[in-house]
Amino acid sequence: MFNLEKLIRANILALTPYSSARDEFKGEAKVFLDANENSFGSPAGDSHNRYPDPMQKNLKDRLSAIKGVPAGNIFLGNGSDEVIDILFRVFCEPGRDNVIIVPPTYGMYEVSANINAVEVRKVPLTAEFQLNVEGISESVDENTKLIFICSPNNPTGNSIDRDDVEFVLNNFNGIVAVDEAYINYSRQKSFIAELTEYPNLVVMQTLSKAWGLAGVRIGMLFASDEIIAVMNKVKPPYNIGTPAQELALNALNRIQEVNEWIRSTVSERDRLVRQLAHNLLIRKIYPSDANFLLVKVDEPKKVYNYLVDKGIIIRDRSGVTLCEGCLRITVGTPAENEMLITELNNYSKQFSFNQ
């Protein structure tokens, strides 16, 4: 039976969070002399001398309208990496608890676990890059607090079978974190709609990918009111600055433009698949629901270095579990993709000649 209080670390449950000046007064006033700010202003411009809204109310209200989730079910972090770290700090007792990851997957789950002195149990995906549900079940014990599932998955690009994710949700009494950083590029339905059905579900998304705000650093987590409340206790009081909140609000008011970028990216992804399929160098192109492709080639390090020499940077994933011989290619603009295709064709001709 799911019991949130039993999952939360005792010291976090008892924690009295820091109360900032902006927490204690939220209204309008003529003079603010409560937060020891520089009252004369800022060289960076108006309002930057004042601390930001610690709860990002305006940004959450806008996200609420877009996502169809109450603002009270939204947590915002300084990138998804802060969101992940706070999950560890809330739920995992260092040196005692453990988490499960399903490699190949996003590397920060393991890094954050190591930073927080939390044991990582790895249950590799199947050859089809799907969950090994039986292996996950066998790895769970009374100290397993978190299971991370990235869907669409990084670096493989595929979506995880929904029935398998629901099986884990139904049979695990800890927190299941579904990372949907690439969901905008997928036809799969977000798990956000399932929040009311699964009290142990948290869904992570980001403004870094489809929304084009990687440099702004805003990660999102959607969960029950109770989970959001305890995460707000733990986060730094002003974890997202005023410029980041303002930039994000501006972006969220340009949905049509973002949707057009998404359509263009998916179209270019499909074109890349068609073009690369004719290249003798490419041994396999894995199905993708993301804004990148995982492809298998002969001698990946040589291909990678060849492209570096041509000024084209991709990601060598050949040393990652189940990704032997693989390169990960982000979908670029049409012009960037054309440069990539041309250089891979040139390399392929040299490769064929040398054979």
25 touches 53 (CB < 8 A):
no
Least confident of 16-20, 210-214, 238-242, 349-353: 349-353
Cα–Cα distance for residue pair 287/157, rounded to 1 Å: 7
Say if residue 355's pLDDT is above 60: no
Say if residue 28's pLDDT is above 90: no
Strands of the 315-316 sheet, one edge to the other: 282-285, 292-297, 326-330, 315-316
Final residue belonging to a domain, choices 204, 221, 253: 253
Peptide bond into 152 cis (omega under 30): yes
Residues 6+ apart with CB under 8 A from 215: none
Largest Cα separation within the chain, whole Å, is 77
Tokens matching residue 272? 């890349």
β strands within 80-131, DSSP E: 98-101, 119-122
Residues 179, 72 within the same domain: yes
Q: Cα torsion at 186, 180, 215, 83 (round to 10°)? A: 180
In the chain, the percentage of residues whose pLDDT exceeds 90 is 94
Residues 76, 205 within the same domain: yes
**Residue 220's CATH number:** 3.40.640.10
Q: Which domain holds residue 214?
A: 4-18+52-253
Q: What is the pLDDT of residues 160-175, one digit of tens each?
A: 999 999 999 999 999 9
> Would you say the C-alpha torsion 342, 343, 348, 350 has a positive or negative sign?
positive
Residues 317, 177 within the same domain: no
Mean local confidence (pLDDT), 232-257: 97
Residues 205, 323 within the same domain: no
Residues 101, 232 within the same domain: yes
Mean local confidence (pLDDT), 41-51: 90
Final residue belonging to a domain, choices 253, 273, 306: 253
Cα–Cα distance for residue pair 41/21, rounded to 1 Å: 18
The pLDDT, as a whole number, for residue 354 is 55
Mean local confidence (pLDDT), 126-147: 98
For 160, which DSSP code? P
Cα–Cα distance for residue pair 322/307, rounded to 1 Å: 23
Number of domains in the chain: 2
Residues 166, 140 within the same domain: yes
Residues 105, 196 within the same domain: yes
The pLDDT, as a whole number, for residue 182 is 98
Cα–Cα distance for residue pair 131/135, rounded to 1 Å: 9
> Would you say the C-alpha torsion 288, 254, 219, 243 has a positive or negative sign?
positive
Say if residue 22's pLDDT is above 90: no
Q: What is the pLDDT of residues 93-120, one digit of tens each?
A: 999 999 999 999 999 999 999 999 999 9
The pLDDT, as a whole number, for residue 245 is 98
